[in-house]
Amino acid sequence: MHIQDGVLTASTAGTVLLALGWVGAGLGTTLGLSRLDADQVPRTGLLTSLFFVVSLIQVPVGPISVHLVLNGLLGLILGWTAFPAVLIALLLQWLFFGMGGLTTLGINTVNMALPAVLARYAFGRLVCSPRVQLVALGGFAVGAVAVLLAATMTALSVAVAGREFVVVSWIVWIGDGVIAVGEGIVTAAAVVFLRRVYPQVFGAAILEGRVPAW
């Protein structure tokens, strides 16, 4: 789910989108860093590494290959701090493996991190529920919706580059959209497990005892 260098510069609209991507990534990263406490640094580093690694594990599906993203899990646990986490992971993927690009780093960060934050605000309350079924449902929704929204934003970004990229944008969406169910299941399992062993990771509602940690 990476946009390569040179794709968006094929049109004026794409170039404008590149600039807007850098603005959005800058604002999101600034906000995320302002909310990053010293005791959250190890957790953020661990989740950044997780995002970095899972994106490298490619699974062939017909003529395309797909991979887990887990941006929903990042957003659920880190909130706005997902922006600097995603930015660093994408930068390292470009440096070491040539995935994505330097000019598209901003828009790629927004396409990955913003859906993660939005999914957290939409379904985060379910994860703090005292009922394990709702916790699992919330985890599934966060994982599936975050990756679907990220795939949609990436496909629309590619389509902006010009008519010749419309077919490519559909391939991008299909390739990433097919993993939504798997993404939801993996995220749900991770969330249920963390609620059992480390409920504090999901915030003050559990820390303050308002929600049972069962």
Tens digit of each residue's pLDDT (9 = 90 or more) over 108-136: 999 999 999 999 999 988 998 889 999 99
Cα gap 133→160, rounded to integer Å: 40
* Residue 93 burial (CB count, 10 A): 20
- Structure confidence by residue, pLDDT tens digits, 65-93: 567 889 999 999 999 999 999 999 999 98
- Structure confidence by residue, pLDDT tens digits, 4-27: 888 787 778 888 999 999 999 999
Cα gap 154→168, rounded to integer Å: 11
Domains of the chain plus CATH, in order, are: 8-207 (1.10.1760.20)
- Structure confidence by residue, pLDDT tens digits, 173-195: 776 777 888 899 999 999 999 99
- Tokens 């510069």, residue located: 9
Q: What is the pTM of this model?
A: 0.87
Label residue 207 by pLDDT band (50, 70, 90): very low
Label residue 208 by pLDDT band (50, 70, 90): very low
